[in-house]
Structure 1
Amino acid sequence: MVRKYFGTDGIRGKANNGTLTADLALRVGMAAGLMFMRGEHRHRVLIGKDTRLSGYMIEQAMTAGFLSVGLDVFLVGPMPTPAVAMLTRSMRCDLGVMISASHNPYDDNGIKLFGPDGYKLSDEVELEIEALLEADLHKRLAKSADLGRATRIEGVQARYVEFAKRTLLRNLELNGLRIVVDTANGAAYKVAGDALWELGAEVIRIGDEPNGFNINRDCGSTEPDALSAKVREMRADIGIALDGDADRVTIVDEKGHIVDGDQLMAVIADSFHHDGRLTKPGIVATVMSNLGLERYLGGLGLTLERTAVGDRYVLECMREHGYNVGGEQSGHIILADHATTGDGLLAALQLLDVVVRSGKRVSEICHKFEPLPQVLKNVRYASGKPLENALVLAAIQDAKQRLGNDGRLVIRPSGTEPVIRVMAEGDDRDLIEAVVDDVIDAVAKVAVAA
């Protein structure tokens, strides 16, 4: 069955005047609610959101949908995606909902669904929900006496802050550390700074004044320039930038230099390996992670298991093979001992644990390896399947032979637009530039023909 609504990370689109309307949100609430009406107990769903203006509309529409089929609704307001996953389990809910478009601009929004175990739904369950969306849901409405009730839950922010703190050793304190935290005017605008302050740090907050329109605008993990400038201005020890729903993180060292997810995974893997906390001798990352990370881990006797791009695929591999650390170069870091999804704050806390225990500067700690030159280019195509064309297949095979064992070539179609992404990395920058250009040229010729 072809997906109509769900993408690689839930449902996402322009809010109200695009694909994500109040009507769709209402029907998703009804369909997902019916899917999780299992057993005779009173059923519950927990709904969190980020700070987008459209969040109010979608929250109310989904609430109406859930209530209409007989589920009780717990409303927790702006909360990070990982907090919603955690609270869904903690509060014994049948379903969790996060209303967010992550790092996208304010006029986008999205719906992420979590099962009672706090994990995102499988492809199979999402397809079942899609089938229900096309059905006549009005025949499945609850009787008047069986309608659900909506309750706004207070104090959940403090619960998440306490949960985050407990992922560290109880005696660990951040006294003496000056930390700039940029919460992207998003879901973590209160909890991230509060957690760091309660651990003893001097906290300078930016990107913490959401107004419904400024989420991710010139701030957050995808726009870290403001954080870098603030770290240098305040002579801070570290900068921490989260994205709109706080499931990813970008670190800035005391010099204002940006640290990506690969370096952060190297730090956490090394720390966990040293302490005997890795459940398997390795970690999981995507095909986009730098070859330098793989070589560094190999030097520690650890492996790097690679997956397709997307944190859901990283998590699937982790669960299937028993890894407890995984993530993406973009800063989605999953620590399976504590969370069921990426959590930017928890990843940052693990780095701070290393900083405190080692007494070293962040710039020393976060330069575990020298990244290999990496080139990524995109080419659009009109239609068809360019990657199945004989000319393109020949160019790809030639590129792999030229790289040999000293580099990697990754070619993948975008999941959201007609774009082919071509990435190569290796020790010789001139070679990888040439390899990427040759493959791009081959795809472009086919694209023009298409």
Structure 2
Amino acid sequence: MVDADQTFVIVGGGLAGAKAAETLRAEGFSGRVILICDERDHPYERPPLSKGYLLGKEQRESVFVHEPAWYAQNDIELHLGQTVVAIDRAAKTVHYGDDGTHVRYDKLLLATGAEPRRLDIPGTDLAGVHHLRRLAHAERLKNVLTHLGRDNGHLVVAGAGWIGLEVAAAAREYGAEVTVVEPSPTPLHGVLGPELGQLFAELHREHGVRFHFGARLTEIVGQDGMVLAARTDDGEEHPCHDVLAAIGAAPRVALAESAGLELADRALGGGIVVDEHLRTSDPDIHAAGDVAAFPHELFGTRMRVEHWANALNGGPAAARSMLGRDVVYDRVPYFFSDQYDLGMEYSGWAPPGSYDQVVIRGDAGKREFIAFWVKEGRVLAGMNVNVWDVTDPIQRLIRTRAQVDTEALADPHVPLADLLP
């Protein structure tokens, strides 16, 4: 029974944590809500960091989840710039800050997110080596791209995933020279497979990006603390002024691990193991957002999703679960990207090897189409490129698991709704 004497603590000041706090109040919880964040900025959303804000098209204030005054107005105790150092599950206390401040909890939510993976090579201590995860990273990178564009400078991007490609696009819009180094044969290989990955390679090449596939960085060469070049394992050297490491993110599980919570296999993405209600192996501790590895019955696997929609929906779901509501978290994964004049949305989950064909509806050459990843006539995932207002029927096709006529699926004249059972 939840009452005003209870204290709910949220660790992590990203979108998942902020939306969880909002939901607790919206659902009528009148006890203490404490939100602890190791960043000094108020909770913010991350997509603008590699999109609108990085490009200078959105103001800094636009990235924040709530106005700063919202937290006091809703009686949310916000502790910024404070790192949680330990969880005592027996005493049900959270310890944070340099002075060992502790607070008791009745329910605890871990929304600690993920952190960028680091390049384990010589030269990463040079001033021109960057990561992009936090607002401070985006502010610094924005200044770097401005100067590179003005001075005809050269950026090397390690990794052709979403962050790498979005920053490459931003750098070209600023006027910088860009080379992307990627060990796979196409961009986004692990997400889209070779069929659609090639489309993104062509898009970026048209805008002047150079790709170096089948290679990894082995060293960043510098002088007087500044970057001069990036070397790869096949003997190539790329002169450059700055390097962006965009080789993925790792879930921040150290706090959960030290508390003895069950963790997912790192080889399968890692994260904190939660059940369908987003409860960890301790029933009084929940997890949500990038760090949570949840079971998904629809796809028959445990998954960890590092995208905006998962934080947006997972935080509120965890909050309701903490309140004792009967919540089952089984959202179809969704994310979006904007690169140059290409906008896309992706729903579902279809890693290479899980599908037997890719069905294209529309004109891929004009980059106005929907791609469907299909196995045995069932849609596993769909990506709409410069085609809008189709996410709902795509997700319904995925969720129903219905077998579809692939010729009709490829025909733009057949409404997607007509393919639903």
| Structure 2 length-normalised TM | 0.30
Structure ranking higher on relative contact order (CA contacts 8 Å, 6+ apart):
2
| Structure 1 length-normalised TM | 0.29
Name the structure where helix makes up a greater proportion of residues: 1
Name the structure where strand makes up a greater proportion of residues: 2
